Structure 1
Amino acid sequence: MVFQVFPGGLKRVFPGGLTDSVLKLLASVSRQATVDEIRTWSVTTIDTLNALMDKNNGQWDRDKSMEVILRYLSVPGHSLGTNELNVIGSNLCSLNVSTLQSITTGDLRNSNALDLSSCSYEQKSVLYVTANSSLRAQRNTGPINYHLISPYLGGAPLEDVRALASYNITMDISTFRSLSSPVITSLSVSDVRALMGSAVEDLKVFENDSVVQAWIASQPQSQVDTLNLGLRGGRADPSASPALVTGHTNTSSAPVTGHTNTSSATNNSSAPVTGHTNTSSATNTSSALVTGHTNTSSAPVTGQTNITTNSSSTQSPALSQSAAATVQGSAAALRLAPGVLFIASCVWLLTLT
């Protein structure tokens, strides 16, 4: 018999609330009840709870499914045991954190794998802690432990997820996508490769999935490329900004005598220059009066000119000393020149006489 009436009419027939026998017959009509009407129901047996939670009758609104479960738990002696967990299934995510904390490790361990995809991170975290405590007590091998804990990994912290890599496991793409967002974006390319093994190729299949895209965006593109999957969207690799290379600028206004600094500076000075001139390709902005030898002066130049090109912004001490020696030698030769000419003239006159 199919009980096709609306809850409003049932309330008039059963003013004290619906009993187990009636609730088992409601089927999909039960989803039309309001939260206030559900609070009058007498859900006293596991069979009634099972009938109300049947997925074939449609999905419950979260607040309504929570109220149905709480009606059952309000009966003395009722708890979220193994049978209840198997009956409730994914509707477990409609319960608050405090209610989920009442689940024992034994009941959770013995229950069927639960669909926690609609649970919040806080709910998943509570269930993970309970499940992990149970599995630690069993001391299973790595792969077995992973298989049992995988439905609850959405609530696992980063360090626990990374530790799974040492178990030589193959994490499927569904489990990877169930991890919390902070954990996923904190996993490096090497972490994901170690966790997923051969299943890492599924990242290409799900490359347009929002979770996979978020993970790719959190990784340097150069690291993503090492997977050889053709995934794009990684962040740009940090690179050193090209350094701005400038010559040495001498802004000193002090006079310079003797020979000039051979640093990479352009001399725009218009001061008279005598002696040896070293024309450097570097830049010197000094406005000082220069005597002896200077850099790229626009002033008249007399004496010997030695043109050099300095492609570096600095010179080694050995080169500086060599330049200084050349300048001093040239200056000494200029000072001796008049005396040599005078002696040569005297010798020439004596020859004539």
Structure 2
Amino acid sequence: MHGIILITGSTIQRAFLLALTDCPPDKIITDEMAKDDLMPIYYEPSELQACLNETNLIKYFSFFSQYAFTEQQLQVMKQKMDEIFPQGFPEPMLRNLGGFINEMTPEDVKKWNITSVETLTALLNMPPPDALVSAIWKSCATLDRGMEGIGKIAYLFSSFLFRTVDPPLDPSHCPQTTKDILYPKAKRAFSDRHNEFPFYFLKIEPYLGGAPQQDLTALSKNNVNMDINTFLGLRNDAVMVIEDVKNLLGKNLKDLKNFQGVEPIKGWIYKQKQSALDELGLGLQGGLPEGYIVLPQEPARRKRAALAFN
């Protein structure tokens, strides 16, 4: 029987599988192999490229993400993930990224559909590299906007990010309720260096949209030279007397002129005496003539009660 090759059904099946995947038969990712934490030493990057597929990648991803793959291996596996999930990774996979988090880019994060605080918690606990933090922050827009949801999100970021992100987060586009939650947490996080300027101001500046008037007045005594964009993001009820605004803006005071029609500057000008505004030498218009005062508006409920009484 020399020269005769016996071809069995299993031989044909294995040859067919090899032709489809180019995965060496002895490298096919079995259940036993996938759960072996020494798996990284058994595979060259090219073998992972050939042997990974949608089925085994999803089924065993929680194992793979914990293994000590080399940088080359991780890059190959990330490429395979992108091929399988071009529109973004499923949320269960996001909760188990593990070592793969360092292979992600801000462009990847834009594709993520983060719908739960649990997923956000898992991502922050990995933890992500600084380059991803801002993108993850923006992804919070898809989460629950109720007060409870906002509070959880704020807590997660305040506990993890205030000391680790450089440059810090930009919460300027967040709802005012979120800014009001973030500011006291940021203030507390940096409290041990609150007398160190400009360090303290540079750290706290992104969160000043939630600062009360008394804190801004205190900052104005430290020559912080706040830029006009930060000033525009302050709470409307936190505007200060002219002297405080002058000290707070410092060398940037001249920028008030260009934004005098924008809140909160517009409302602030309306409450100042025109003569005091003139002393700034900026040409600001719209202040109170001499002899006029601004009366606080009466709450609507009190007005209705007064009318009913009459």
TM-score of the superposed pair, with normalisation by structure 1: 0.49
Matching residue's letter, 1:25: D
Q: Determine the structure 1 residue equivalent to 2:82.
A: 25
Distance 1:159 1:49 in 2: 41
Distance 2:105 2:286 in 1: 43
Deviation at 1:201, TM superposition (A): 0.3
Cα deviation code 1:55-91 (max 9, x no counterpart): 4x6967xxx754277425347xx5385x466513154
Q: Determine the structure 1 residue equivalent to 2:287.
A: 234
Aligned residue runs from structure 1 range 27-176, under 5 A: 30=87, 38-39=90-91, 41-45=93-97, 54-55=106-107, 66-67=114-115, 70-74=118-122, 79=125, 83=128, 86-89=131-134, 91-92=136-137, 94=140, 96-103=150-157, 107-112=161-166, 113-176=168-231
RMSD of aligned alpha carbons = 3.8
Deviation at 1:171, TM superposition (A): 0.9
Segments of structure 2 that go 5 or more residues without pairing to the other structure are: 1-53, 66-76, 144-149, 294-310
Cα deviation code 1:296-336 (max 9, x no counterpart): xxxxxxxxxxxxxxxxxxxxxxxxxxxxxxxxxxxxxxxxx
Sequence identity percentage:
24
Distance 1:26 1:130 in 2: 41
Segments of structure 1 that go 5 or more residues without pairing to the other structure are: 1-12, 241-353
TM-score of the superposed pair, with normalisation by structure 2: 0.55
Distance 1:29 1:236 in 2: 63
Higher helix share: 2
How many residue pairs match? The answer is 214
Deviation at 1:116, TM superposition (A): 1.1
- Decide whether aligned partners of structure 1 residues 29 and 226 sit closer, same or farther in structure 2, where only a CA change above 3 A counts: farther
- Decide whether aligned partners of structure 1 residues 84 and 235 sit closer, same or farther in structure 2, where only a CA change above 3 A counts: farther
Deviation at 1:48, TM superposition (A): 5.3
Cα deviation code 1:150-200 (max 9, x no counterpart): 1111121111111101112211112111212221xx312221101111210
Deviation at 1:137, TM superposition (A): 1.7
- Decide whether aligned partners of structure 1 residues 148 and 40 sit closer, same or farther in structure 2, where only a CA change above 3 A counts: closer
Aligned residue runs from structure 1 range 119-268, under 5 A: 119-183=174-238, 186-239=239-292
Paired residue secondary structure (1:109)? coil
Single out whichever of 117-126 and 170-179 deviates more from structure 2: 117-126
Given that 1:46 and 1:84 are in contact with CA atoms closer than 8 Å, whether structure 2 keeps it comes out as no
- Decide whether aligned partners of structure 1 residues 140 and 190 sit closer, same or farther in structure 2, where only a CA change above 3 A counts: closer
Distance 1:154 1:58 in 2: 26
Q: Determine the structure 2 residue equivalent to 1:323.
A: none
